[in-house]
Structure 1
Amino acid sequence: MSSLKGKVALVTGASSGIGAETARYFASLGCYLSLTGRNEANLKTVAEECQQNGLPKDKILLILADLGSEEDVKKVADKTIEYFGSLDVLVNNAGVVYPGSIETFTLEQFDKTFDVNVRAPLQLTHLLKPHLIKTKGAIVNVSSVNGVMAFPGVMTYCMSKTTLDCLTQNSAHDLAPHGVRVNSVNPGVIKTAVHKRGGMTDEQYAQFLKKCERTHAMGRPGNVDEVAKVIAFLASDDSSYVTGELITIDGGRHLLTVMAPEKTE
């Protein structure tokens, strides 16, 4: 993935989880970074880690933003182009999740979920399209296995990720004649803070991770680096003939319609 060296990438939701690891990995490959997130302290820490991975400080732009805000999304696009003058890679990673079923969801949660998980990637893709066309760049949307199969208790999140997958394939079709590729990664359970931010207690999260031993064919949840490396592949010239794909990185979660037997050790 040496083709990413010297390229400019915008990574949303870069202050934690998959976004933070993607930033660190891109930095190790020499990719210039525009990083956005809501937690300023975490964002600065990620920037320091990117420098430790060999990326000069002046090749890292930090933008504090809430992608639930239309104005902040535009700010992210404008500041990125103003600072770097071009864009090669857009990684739409920022996402939120709220618990809720058809009986318990709220319209407020629905709106907040779709604002961040769907509208922001759509808006950024639209705003940055001219710049990506100039560089014949790539877009990677961070979706979820929740986009390709149903899960109880997170209905609006599942709906948002299915819609994001639709955006991936439709924009891939529209942008292919311009040389821009668009793909999606659809992780299973990855060990990040997103579930706790969605309302899980430490005990609930521990039980959730334990359950993954039975719900994922490989018998474990995933790690952020396992997703970041696939994102980098899709962003690089190594995947030059790949577009419109939804790539599950889920340890075989989508293969199981029932829980696997408990391990006997």
Structure 2
Amino acid sequence: MMNLFSNEKVVLITGASSGIGQETAVKFVEKGITNLSLNGRNAEGLEKTKQDCLAVNKDADVLLVQGDLRTDGVCEKLVKETIENFGQIDILFNNAGMSVGVPLCDPSMDSYEPVFDINLKVAVKLTKLCIPYLRLTKGNIVNNSSILATHPVPNHSFYSMSKAALDMFTRCIAVEEGKNGIRANSISPGKF
């Protein structure tokens, strides 16, 4: 286990089995941060991310915690295994997310809850679990929002709403946890 106050950073990334999460993990290794805790639903995708990281630096320590963060106990398992393996968390990247394209007036609410659960509820839960460790390391939280948080498009209302709420959550973290040395930022990928 690493010393809690060592100079070696530990990054926890959700949604790391594909896309932005996968590429971000590799970029961290390229920049010299080689202690990664990666979560994703797809075990094969997670293993590919790990192999891509090891291709950059064969000495990278890459922990894989596969599972759907919406499932009871998975967020807790992710944080617990990260601390058991590395002893600290310096950066939390809440990247996991989803979008379902449905009209706002669709009579079914079936797409509302899953989108809010993964895009907002999981980020809130995981952040709350990580804050005690991030306080110790004066760490960072990065939330993956979207340009659609401020520029809505048809048939993605729930997604846009969840990302706008995630942006406000990020601001709230910054206000409440800045005094404890935690920085919080959101990124908004996308283009118009």
TM-score w.r.t. structure 2 length?
Answer: 0.92
Q: Give CA-to-partner distance per residue, 1:110-138, whole Å, 9 cap, x none.
A: 11111111011101110110100000000
Partner of 2:47: 44
Partner of 1:35: 38
Partner of 1:118: 120
The 1:25/1:55 distance shift into structure 2, 3 A limit, reads farther
Partner Cα distance (2:168, 2:125) in 1: 14
Partner Cα distance (1:143, 1:105) in 2: 26
Secondary structure, counterpart of 1:9 in structure 2: strand
**How many residues are paired up?**
185
Partner of 1:18: 20
Partner of 2:76: 74
1:30 deviates by 2.2
Contact persistence 1:95–1:116 (CA under 8 A): yes
Identity %: 38
Partner Cα distance (2:132, 2:163) in 1: 25
Partner Cα distance (2:102, 2:83) in 1: 38
Secondary structure, counterpart of 1:62 in structure 2: strand
> Which runs of no fewer than 5 residues in structure 2 stay unpaired?
1-6
Contact persistence 1:88–1:136 (CA under 8 A): yes
Partner Cα distance (2:141, 2:58) in 1: 22
Radius of gyration: which is bigger? 1
Q: Please identify which structure carries the higher helix content.
A: 1
1:106 deviates by 2.9
Q: Which runs of 4+ in 1 moved over 3 A?
A: none
Partner of 1:155: 157
TM-score w.r.t. structure 1 length?
Answer: 0.68
The 1:55/1:141 distance shift into structure 2, 3 A limit, reads farther
| Structure 1 vs Structure 2 CA RMSD | 1.3
Partner of 2:3: none
